[in-house]
Chains A and B, each alone.
Chain A
Amino acid sequence: MLETLTLLLVCQLIGEAIVRYLALPVPGPVLGMVLLFAFLMMRGKVSDDLAKTTGTLLDNLSLLFVPAGVGVILYADLIAAEWKAIVAALIVSTIATIAVTSLLMKKLAKPEDKG
């Protein structure tokens, strides 16, 4: 577990540093994800420890959004003032985006390789 956590933090740290230094339009952790991916490609396998620890982390991914979600309390007034427009925009846009992306992907993707 400790090895994996360190590896994740190292990737994130390098990612953050590169993003900051080159002023890239992606967040550090996303670049960190690319770095870990490159690392896995070079090594050619996922160790048991890495599989187990990242599995635990991703199983509980939704928990990690709770603190930011509670931040809604700070902007309740702003949202309340224009709640109709905001609710309509979010619902329409979310459904439209899911429909467009997944239908297009279904149409364009090659049949799944069950190998």
Chain B
Amino acid sequence: MTGGGDLFELWVYLSTTPLLGLTVTLVAYLIGRRIYEHFDRTPIANPVLIAVILLVALLWISDVPYRRYFEGAQFVHFLLGPATVALAVPLYRHFAEIKRNAVAIFVSIVAGSTTAIVSAVGTAWLFGASERTLLSLAPKSVTTPVAMGISESIGGFPALTAVLVILTGILGAMFGTWTMNALRLKDWRARGLGMGTAAHGIGTARAFQVNELAGAFSSLALGLNALATAILVPLIIRLLSS
């Protein structure tokens, strides 16, 4: 090895190992969480949002392509699968409460799912969005893999949908609490169901930080809304375009 002590060479080496992408993801998130805790977990200081802003700035300044960053960050991304499976545990714990309210849950989620699709597409249409954007927006309230699949099947742009899904989740976690406080909702079951239907996993993460029962209902809504949206989006798009 020549060029010992060469900072540029060190950077070239580090920027190609997955270690760097993984480490900066954890560091950025810990900073985000520290800020979130510092402000008493106020929804506006959402840790995902802070971490994403820090990392986007870092990639932009250092000129590291996203793909290379993801080679390291994928180890964190991968855990989304097992974490989704793990949601079965809070569901199991609160199953009696869920079973008692099965009809209420079903009706609320179908209504919420329809609202999500129609209001997103309708608002964007009023603002003159392109057809591709409208179609990419339709499934944005559900978890990423489902949303991308739906987007593709109706002629949207799956990669754009993926980004819209994350933005929706962050917005839900930020504004959901305020919305429900303004509506004077105190029922944790109703609050959790709203979060999970509107803002999938990121909303569910926020729900778990606030209350375990809300987290369980949010997990349930995340799963059921994935199914409801997969069925409803193609129907609603056909209705709207005719």
Contact = CB atoms under 8 A, between A and B. Distances in A.
Contact of B194 (A29, A34, A101): A101
Contact of B187 (A59, A63, A112): A112
B104 A58 contact: no
- Chain A facing B: main interface SS: helix
Given A102-B180, A108-B103, A26 B226 contact: yes
Interface string B199-234: 101101110100000010001010100110011000
A91 B51 contact: no
A113 B97 contact: yes
Interface in A23-51: 25-30, 32-37, 39-41, 46, 50-51
A1 to B, nearest CB: 12
B121 A89 contact: yes
- Chain B facing A: main interface SS: helix
B8 interface: no
A54 B4 CA distance: 45
B77 A62 contact: no
B23 interface: no
Contacts of B97: 112-113
Contacts of A22: none
A66 B120 contact: no
A95 interface: yes
B195 interface: yes
Q: Which residue, of A5, A12, A29, A69, has the highest number of chain B Cβ atoms within 10 A?
A: A69
B180 A92 contact: no
B128 interface: yes
Contacts of A94: 116, 141, 168, 171-172, 175-176, 198-199
Nearest to A4: B86
Contact of B202 (A62, A74, A102, A106): A62
Contacts of B119: 89, 92-93, 96-97
Contacts of B227: 25-26
B179 interface: yes
Nearest to B78: A64
A60 to B, nearest CB: 8
Contacts of B73: 66-67, 70
Contacts of A67: 25, 69-70, 73-74, 76-77
14 contacts: A46-B93, A65-B169, A65-B202, A67-B77, A74-B66, A82-B129, A82-B133, A93-B123, A97-B119, A98-B199, A102-B190, A104-B107, A109-B189, A115-B96
Given A27-B145, A79-B163, 9 more contacts: A63-B76, A67-B25, A85-B129, A88-B123, A89-B123, A94-B168, A103-B183, A109-B187, A109-B190
Interface of B: 25-26, 28-29, 46-49, 51-52, 55-56, 59-60, 66, 69-70, 73-74, 76-77, 79-93, 95-97, 100-101, 103-105, 107-109, 111-113, 115-116, 119-121, 123-124, 126-130, 133, 137, 140-141, 143-146, 149-150, 157, 159-160, 162-164, 166-173, 175-176, 179-180, 183, 185, 187, 189-191, 193-195, 197-199, 201-202, 204-206, 208, 215, 219, 221, 223, 226-227, 230-231
